[in-house]
Amino acid sequence: MIDEPLVYSTSKSKHWFGLIASAAFVLCGVWLVTSDWEAGRQTRALIGGYGCIAFFGLAIPFFLFRLILNPTPLVVDQKGLTIRTTAFPVGFIAWHEIETIEVVQTPGRMGGSYIGIKPKDLNKILQRLGPMQSLMLRLNGSLSQHPIAIPSIAIDAGQDALAVRLNEFLAASRKGD
């Protein structure tokens, strides 16, 4: 099946873009707060400006962490996948725990896509995760049938080709069952 573990690296260019875009949105939030507050629109300043600062401000440490420490976001081996592609990573998931792997299209005009993994028993995976990881996985599960995600920004590989390859490994692991 897999002789050597396959290691997928971080997409540096995508993470630099994410860092720069997040910083720009934080600056936009600061501008909203200062301009709206002075104009007497405190509610808009509080919701729009501070919301923008908080949301995109939290993304900055994530992108810096990825760029400086460069953790391996995805490792594929004979036993399964080690997934560290998000701020609250799932970690290891064995092939026998996976029901399906597919590219999932997100709805809307600005919809994108990601590799979605649907586990056979989500509760079994939740039991071994920390509280924040469990919460995020539950929230993902409430939005999609594929609670485990490998976002395209996280890895330096073609999403469709990677999904095909992962499904080949999944199928090969099932032949051994």
Mean pLDDT, consecutive 10-residue stretches, the chain (177 aa), reads 72 84 92 77 78 89 81 85 84 93 79 86 88 85 82 80 89 78
Query: What is the model's pLDDT at position 119?
Result: 92
Residues 77 and 122 in one domain: yes
Q: Which residues, in sequence order, are bridge partners of residue 8? A: 74
Give the domain range for residue 25: 11-69
Query: What is the model's pLDDT at position 172?
Result: 86
What whole-number distance in Å separates Cα of residue 154 and Cα of residue 72? 10
* Cβ atoms within 10 Å of 4's Cβ, excluding its own: 7
What whole-number distance in Å separates Cα of residue 90 and Cα of residue 104? 18
Residues 36 and 42: beta-carbon distance below 8 Å = yes
Residues 58 and 94 in one domain: no
Work out how many domains the chain is built from and give that number. Answer: 2
Residues 51 and 116 in one domain: no
1 within some domain: no
3 within some domain: no
Residues 88 and 165 in one domain: yes
Whole-prediction pTM value? Answer: 0.72
